[in-house]
Structure 1
Amino acid sequence: MVRMRGVAVLAAAALALSACGSGGESPPSAQGDQPRVLKLWHYETADSAMGKAWAEAIKKFEASHPNVTVKFEEKGFEQIQKTAGMVLNSDEAPDLMEYNKGNATAGLLSKQGLLTDLSEEAARRGWDKLLPGGLQTTAKYDDRGVMGSGKWYGVPNYGEFVMVYYNKDLFDQHKVKVPTTYEELTAALDTFVKAGVTPIANAGAEYPAQQIFYQLALTKAQKPWLQAFQSYQGKVDFHGPEFTYGADTFADWVKKGYLAKNSAGLKAEDMGVAFMNGEFPMMISGSWWYGRVASTVKDFEWGHFLFPGATMAPGSSGNIWVVPERSRNKDLAYDFIDLTMSKDVQNLLGNSGGVPVAADPAAITDPKAKELIETFNKLTTADGLAFYPDWPAPGYYDVLVAGVQNLINGSKTPTQVLDEIAGPYEDNLADIGN
């Protein structure tokens, strides 16, 4: 069973924990004279907070393992999402890989026997101490592949959440104030539309649009509904007030011009670049963009705020390091994970715009980084992390992509879309015996 309330400790962990037990020392098998290669996959861009931190970790790892070369291959999120099951069941599997957390992804692979049980290493290296309570929710999976209990199959080392990025210059130009209520948000959206400006950058071909749909549903949701949807602790009515409001309002936002009708085929990168180029006043997306926005945007002032009118937002501990069962260098993979949990790498992650889990609080000096972590603290203190809409069922990500594309195109009604997303969810419940 998922310990939903425990996830609130992530805020404290993000700043208060030190990297005890993360010395990065190699076992004897990694200290030999024979050249070795650690094959590493992740999908963080070089200018993101995580990308910068993992690049530094690679340098430190090779310096501390002189006979080891890290062969890093950058993979797209979608690429890993769609091919992981096949690749990890082949000789092409990497030694260490960043992977999406949740029942439908890491949980499914653990159930299929494709991931290494990390429980012993987590205890030996102190990861279980660095990641207490709710931080372990996405690290552990039971025999059904359901997160929150069971064995360790992954290690998260940062936090994340969905927020509203905004262009302060465009807000000032159109005399729009940062909204603090849902009514103020829709009034702001109307102001931009009347001025001929599409207010929200969007991408229907990948995750952003479904996260907006989910955020809208969360404005009508309470904790019992979330626990039913994500943790199977009760029945979910897909035509109840939560999802009905999400689907109806998302379709209405397209009709009103809040979201562009041509955004159905756009990808997350298209959305992010457009916002960073100053083309949209707002972007509703995750903290994984934060470091990149901070380092890229030079021509306008920007900021962020939590989605008004909701007590919860999509978010969780970050993506996880997993060690494929077919990894040929598991000891090296464990060493690299350990290094990413060290203070030096965690401090860099925090100062680059990420949300670290084991940083030295005094070492986070960047003002923007502090602002981000303060918002995260606010959300987690209120127990407001709601995970992501595609987590509950295998293949659900693609189901939701198709659903929101239909809402953007107007090719199906909200009722029809809700019927279509209900089916795979119910099928999964039957498959796991719930």
Structure 2
Amino acid sequence: MVITRRGLLAGALLSSASLALGACGGGDDSGGDDGADAKTLTLWHYEGATSAMGVAWAKAIELFKAKHPGVEVKFEEKSFEQIQQNAQMILNSDSAPDILEYNKGNATAGLLSKQGLLADLSDQVTEYGWDKKLSASLQTTAKYDEDGIMGSGNYYGVPNYGEYVMVYYNKDAFAKYNLAVPTTFDEFVTALDTFVQNKVTPLAVGGAEYPAQQIFYELALSKADRAWVDDYQLYKNKIDFKGTPFTYGAQTFADWVSKGYIGKDSAGIKAEDMGVSWEQGKYPILISGSWWYGRFASEVKKFEWGSFLFPGNTLHPGSSGNLWVVPEKSKAKALAYDFIDITMSAEVQNLLGNSGGVPVAADASAITDAKNKELIENFNKLVTGDGLAFYPDWPAPGYYDTLVAGVQGLINGSKTPTGFLDEIAKPYDENLADLGK
């Protein structure tokens, strides 16, 4: 998420011009090269106020203000799309914030690091001990080499939560049709068939944004292994887009549309509307990320619900969470580093876990809710089992939009699976050529 990306929950898209005008950096009140004496910290993130991350970051702001009583925190809530589409322009201007949440991966944080727009945080990672709190797999998305490829090089961001794609299900709807939680892919398909036979479209899908492409990727991963993921995401070897994983993913996704598992009207549905429709009980199943978990826990009142990992897969879309990054043009770098450290503290990490998030440095005994424990335990299983496969849109700049348009074509029937694969192969291969791969 691929991207997920998940800040689409946060607000409407603004134009590039209004985003630039609405932003304000640390201003002229900064002091020193690192802004240690700055009196303003401008912070952007795109987590909804009721989400686990939104709750945790609000607490972090509260703690930061208590530690720095003379500093004003200018928090600006953006949507994922705002930052995704305008980051290069904003971070290359004097309107850059001092710290922001940004999408991880080669096409996003990697690209900005390559362009010199992000501060190198390697010294701070060691100084604050953040590397001791992050497992090796979670550090993958924090480090980028000189070509902007993740996994090695310097630290250009700090993740402080984890995320992964799972299956959310309406327990009442499953019980109505005597369906057990599927443990195999075939059992999952049987459940989807049962709903269709009873004139119920089983899957809530957002084709206009990230969710649909993550379903396609989940299907491709059912036929993939770690070597394939490394080839696709880290450019270890050439990827064959007509090979088994992507061919199976594209064809099966198209089949799911034709069988009625995915509604043909979902091509125009955004992630927010997808989530709300599931909360309202209009669809029994939603395949999306852990970033929804805290929100569902607080907002779903009409039915009992649960979650499970996509049946049969050992690999799943997921990674560390989005990154805290510090723009090179930040006027309050020292304050930004201190804010990151607060978000990594036990108090904030434990709150994140108890609010339905996936912390990276929480005290397991401090997580009290049984559902939240299950969420975190499943993530830990993926981390220890090397099961995080990142997101499909990461490998190339602009790839997110390519995949959105591609899966929309599969949903509305304007593209064949072969045509879809040709379409997504082109920018990927062009990016490799640009990198000299």
Say yes or no: TM over 0.5. Answer: yes
Amino acid at match of 2:91: L
- Residue identity in the other structure for 2:322: N
1:125 matched to which residue of 2?
128
Q: Does structure 1 residue 209 correspond to structure 2 residue 212?
A: yes
1:365-393 Cα offsets, whole Å, 9 max, x none, are: 11111010111122223211100000111
Q: Aligned partners of 1:375 and 1:131: how far apart in 2?
A: 17
**How far off its partner does 1:131 sit?**
1.7
The answer to whether the 8 A contact 1:31-1:65 is kept is no
**Structure 1 residue 399 and structure 2 residue 405: aligned?**
no
1:95-153 CA-to-partner distances (Å, cap 9, x unmatched) read 00000000000000000010001111111111121124122111110000000111110
Q: CA 1:88 to 1:224, structure 2 compared with 1: closer, same or farther past 3 Å?
A: same
Partner residue, 2:59 = 56
2:106 counterpart of 1:103: yes
Q: Distance in 2 between matches of 1:207 and 1:426?
A: 21
SS in 2 for 1:40: strand
Please, which runs of 5 or more residues in structure 1 have no aligned partner? 1-26
| CA distance in structure 1 between the partners assigned to 2:273 and 2:303 by the alignment | 19
What's the offset of the Cα at 1:286?
Answer: 0.3
Residue type at the aligned position of 2:186? E
In the TM superposition, residue 30 of structure 1 has moved relative to its aligned partner by 7.2
Structure 2 counterpart SS, 1:355: coil
Residue aligning to 1:182: 185
1:71: which partner in 2?
Answer: 74
Say whether residues 1:289 and 2:292 are aligned partners: yes
1:288-316 deviation digits (Å, cap 9, x = unpaired): 10010111112211000000121110001
Contact 2:36/2:333 (<8 A) preserved: no
Mind listing any 5+ residue stretches in structure 2 that lack a counterpart?
A: 1-31
What is the aligned counterpart of 2:265 among 252, 262, 265? Answer: 262
Q: Which residue matches 2:28?
A: none
**Letter of the structure 1 residue corresponding to residue 340 of structure 2:** I
CA distance in structure 2 between the partners assigned to 1:56 and 1:28 by the alignment? 28
* Secondary structure of the structure 2 residue equivalent to 1:73: strand
Cα shift at 1:49: 0.4
1:146-202 deviation line (CA, Å, top 9, x unaligned)? 001111100000111000000001111121111111111111000001111110100
* TM-score with structure 1 setting the length: 0.92
Q: Counterpart of 1:42? A: 45
1:178 and 1:190 map into 2 onto residues whose CA distance is 14
Q: Which amino acid aligns with 1:56?
A: K
Q: Percent identity?
A: 69
Secondary structure at 1:71 match in 2: strand
Point out 4+ residue stretches in structure 1 off by more than 3 angstroms: 27-32
TM-score normalised by length of structure 2: 0.91
Q: CA RMSD in A?
A: 1.4
Distance 1:115 1:65, change over 3 A: same
Measure the CA separation in 1 of the matches of 2:208 and 2:36.
46
Give 1:225's aligned residue: 228
Name the amino acid aligned to 1:79.
Q
Q: Aligned residue for 2:320?
A: 317
Match of 2:138 among 135, 140, 156: 135
Distance 1:28 1:106 in 2: 23
Question: What is the 5 A alignment of 1:158-169?
Answer: 158-169=161-172
* Matches of 1:28 and 1:91, distance apart in 2: 15
SS of match in other structure, 2:415? coil
Q: Give the whole-Å Cα distance in 2 for the aligned partners of 1:329 and 1:28.
A: 9
When residues 172 and 132 of structure 1 are mapped into structure 2, their CA distance, relative to the original with a 3 A threshold, is closer
Report the 3-state secondary structure (helix = DSSP H, G, I; strand = E; otherwise coil) of the residue aligned with 1:356: coil
Tell whether the 8 Å contact from 2:36 to 2:335 is kept in structure 1 after alignment. no
* d(CA) in 2 for partners of 1:170, 1:182: 19
Distance (whole Å) between structure 1 residues aligned to residue 189 and residue 109 of structure 2: 37
One-letter amino acid matched to 1:284: I
Which sits farther off after the overlay, 282-291 or 173-182? 173-182
Q: Letter of the 1:72 partner, please give it.
A: F
* 3-state secondary structure, aligned to 2:361: coil
**2:301 counterpart residue number:** 298
Aligned length: 406
